A and B are shown apart, each in its own frame.
With several copies, the nearest count.
Chain A
């Protein structure tokens, strides 16, 4: 894809994908809450366990993944859905996995923090910073195989203080590997604010520690992410090495569902929602004539339908046989 201004098609894809992500996260939040009242019980309902939702962080997903091909590797974090959707992970099987069903990507073994779709080279994992080194390895593999495939490694701003971040960026820079390190700065690592975890205001400033470009995108701006990521991906594809791309973004939900959020200013989410990136992009598209009210309704309906179908698929799928737990330990 191009790295200049987004085409009409690209704009529409980003918009529709963001709408899809938002509806996905809201639908999941809803499904998650089932069986969890009157008393919240993390183990109950159709979607048990921890659930980290990414509503508000859509620009980080679509603005980056729009530049990627199926062969490009993405490693995402414990908060993976938006990125998975933007990367083209099979929505039905992903949802079934989150519901713990036999039809899930991994037959229910992985769950929401362990989504693997080899068809689009997507994976994610639950330990902070953990996905960065494997992305470096995917980039190395591409380089050794003579492909121009790139790898994108996501981390939260909290994760940028893990040793793995330092080691992975240094190695990628040293070997000039096609990696884009995307830092989703949603200001929080559970209850710990960025300024009490990180000695510098911007992780993109850490790029100078590795001699690579560091770009900071302010205020969750989808078009600015598109631009910055386009350059970073193109640079990687040209064999010029990694980039650190930090994106200021918004976390609408708690860290995980059920988070009492006592640490968070009461009106923070409301303030963020007033600048909602989907609304902003929609307004832009309407202004630019890329979208009108009618086509918007169509886009939204299509996106929502896809999500709803995935949810239905997941709900209607059978659970795995318990004893299948013993399979697939080894390849």
Chain B
């Protein structure tokens, strides 16, 4: 029992089910989240268990149903709205960033918006430029939303329960390639032991996934696993990488970043989201604006280039960050160190 393993998809749906059990105000809205169980399985089994009043399939009207979730959250409910792919944010962003994210502030804290906006991210399976994006920074740049990105099943459950219980809106971004779906490549190590009982993982605390003294590699979501793969390879060259899983972009756990870099003196940041104006520069700047001398070599970023996601497999794979690129970046940063 204590060693029960779950996929991330199962961990998420279990978290939702347990919260729905506990709290009658929790409900789910979205497209194909009922009978279908969510295109990526995050709501599997919920309709059967809780019925169509609390597990509501919607028209293809993201503005209406995400906005309705905002209204319901202001009216005593705790909705979880699923935006099927994060790539679709553009049809509903006004409700998301101008209401969901700002109503707490606009009301001077007199109104709470306890809702979760859950959405799928990521590519790597040739779904082309409107179905493969990550867009972490698109949300993290705008104030008023917490932005959570789990990297494994244990965290996924605990972070989802935290997100549901949070009085503020939480954007919960799960990477498709971590969900343990049988029909697409999935990172095996995202499947972990998951306790049956409900538990929380606090939002805003990064986790050290691997300790190391030579270099800090910062990542979120799927890229944590790529970073761990890179660390394995580097270990064979006597390079001990510390891998930091941010777990959320907002709040960003700057202390953990600083602590690790203070130890290692070297920094590589990995992101599957577009490189410019994104996570990588925010993490690097967090370090250098705190104390330039923490870094003993120039930092590196390994991120998605500034191109729409191409369909064709060789092109997409070329563009994606991977363990080799991360390891190479680590080697580069350590090499410049020697020179400096």
Contact = CB atoms under 8 A, between A and B. Distances in A.
Contact of A192 (B31, B111, B124): B31
Interface of A is mostly: loop
Interface string A100-128: 11001111111111101010010101111
B289 interface: no
Interface of B is mostly: loop
27 contacts: A43-B126, A43-B313, A48-B126, A48-B313, A49-B131, A49-B311, A107-B312, A111-B312, A114-B129, A114-B130, A116-B108, A125-B98, A125-B130, A126-B128, A133-B95, A136-B64, A137-B79, A138-B74, A140-B68, A144-B27, A163-B63, A171-B58, A190-B31, A190-B32, A192-B32, A263-B36, A329-B104
Contacts, number: 296
Interface string A153-194: 000001101111001101100110000000000000111100
Given A110-B108, A140-B71, A330-B146, A158 B311 contact: no
Interface in B88-122: 88, 90-91, 94-95, 98-99, 103-114
Given A107-B108, A168-B64, A328-B105, A322 B318 contact: yes
Contacts of B87: 127
Interface residues of B, number: 83
Nearest to B311: A111
Contact of B91 (A127, A258, A263): A127
Contacts of A106: 106-110
Nearest to A196: B57
B71 A141 contact: yes
A328 B94 contact: no
A134 interface: yes
Given A121-B75, A161-B60, A137 B106 contact: no
A28 B105 CA distance: 24
Interface residues of A, number: 83
A50 B87 CA distance: 15
Contacts of A129: 60, 91
Contacts of A262: 35-36
Contacts of B61: 161-163, 167, 170-171
B63 to A, nearest CB: 5
